[in-house]
Amino acid sequence: MPGIDFTPAARTSSKNYSYFFRKTLLALIGVLSLWTAAAASGNVGAKPADAPSRYARGLLWKIEKPGVAPSYLLGTIHSDDPRVTTLPAPVARAFDGSKRFVMEALIDGDGLVRMAQAMYFNDGRTLEQVIGKPLYEQTLKALAARGVPAQNVEKQKPWAAMMALSIPPLKTGEYLDLILEQRAARQGKAVSGLETMDEQIAVFNDLPLPDQVALLRETVASQADFDKELEGLLQAYLARDLAALAELSAKHAPGEERMYRTVMDRLLIRRNARMAGRMHPYLDEGGSFIAVGAAHLPGRTGLLNRIEEAGYRVISVY
């Protein structure tokens, strides 16, 4: 790939390289959270109000089962906004009292390299050829307006260009997920992931190209309202209002019905089932603090309902 060195020496010596792709992966996770919230009712296409009302409010949930220490499940929003990254006292207490931290996906150097490779065509195609000159020029203009470097954009896949346009403006560069991971490391906690980086990358990378192009087109068209809508999402999150978060996030969902159902199945239904299944060993062991995007919590196919159906007791703490 032009302009990027994948040698082991480059992986370990280039902090800017690692930071860029780490930030891009977090943007991917962020887009997963934003769009999954649009389907948080548990039925793709259903209204958020259809979700069980007991899951409509709360970010921190205590998970109990007789004979084991309780675990906690925190709904996050993948942001570096200080209003988000300053841990509320109940969250800090639950985290500090847990012996294990479980996050959506562990970010490692090899995974970052695989993500970088997945972002680019390797068969001679270009982004302009795939999406057409008008959308390509609009994409370049949108990237420039957001101050995003357009280096090697001509070789990017449509989903990668969409990611670049979905990264919120940096405030501190310290995302909530990373802060929790670093806090766990300082406290000597075991750290685990519910998904692999390859699984998260595949959500978009395995989409058919026509769907990738349509998603990029919608992302470019929505740039004017991006900051305003992001602030609305943050306000709903800070109010711990999962129902409001779902309603606001519906604006981020793909507009065409077939593509909407396809994307939401990949973003929400399959991932919730996978994550819920992989949580069980940690819940049976007890003493875990689990953090995933808040959109995964509510709804009939959401994690809270899945956890209760598996025989655990779920209690809202904060």
What are the tokens at 172?
A: 């501190």
pLDDT band at 17; cut points 50, 70, 90:
very low
58-92: per-residue pLDDT in tens? 999 999 999 999 999 999 988 889 999 999 999 99
63 or 2: whose pLDDT is higher? Answer: 63
Alpha-helix residue ranges (DSSP H) falling in the chain: 8-13, 15-37, 82-85, 89-96, 109-118, 127-131, 133-145, 158-164, 176-186, 197-205, 209-221, 226-238, 242-249, 257-264, 270-285, 303-309
Give the span between the Cα atoms of 32 and 47, in whole angstroms.
19
Give the span between the Cα atoms of 167 and 29, in whole angstroms.
10
Provide the residue count of the chain.
318
Quick one: which H or E segment has residue 192?
Answer: strand 190-195
Residue 3 has pLDDT above 50, yes or no: no
Q: Return the closest-CA partner of residue 48 out of 58, 36, 38, 57.
A: 38
Residue 15 has pLDDT above 50, yes or no: no
59 or 233: whose pLDDT is higher? Answer: 59
Specify which of 16-25, 141-150, 185-194, 199-208 reaches the highest per-range mean pLDDT.
185-194
122-137: per-residue pLDDT in tens? 999 999 999 999 999 9
Q: What angle do CA 78, 201, 16 make, to 5 degrees?
A: 65
Judge contact between 272 and 301, C-beta under 8 A: yes
Q: Return the closest-CA partner of residue 233 out of 223, 222, 225, 244.
A: 244
What is the dihedral sign for C-alpha 155, 16, 105, 292? negative
Would you state the pLDDT for residue 58? 96
179 or 52: whose pLDDT is higher? Answer: 179
Q: What residues contact 109, with CB distance under 8 A and at least 6 apart? A: 11, 12, 18
What is the dihedral sign for C-alpha 151, 210, 292, 188? negative
Can you give the residue ranges of every domain in the chain?
8-117+171-202+235-316
Which residue shows structure tokens 């593509």?
A: 259
Give the span between the Cα atoms of 45 and 261, in whole angstroms.
7
What's the mean per-residue pLDDT of the chain? 83
Residue 45 has pLDDT above 50, yes or no: no
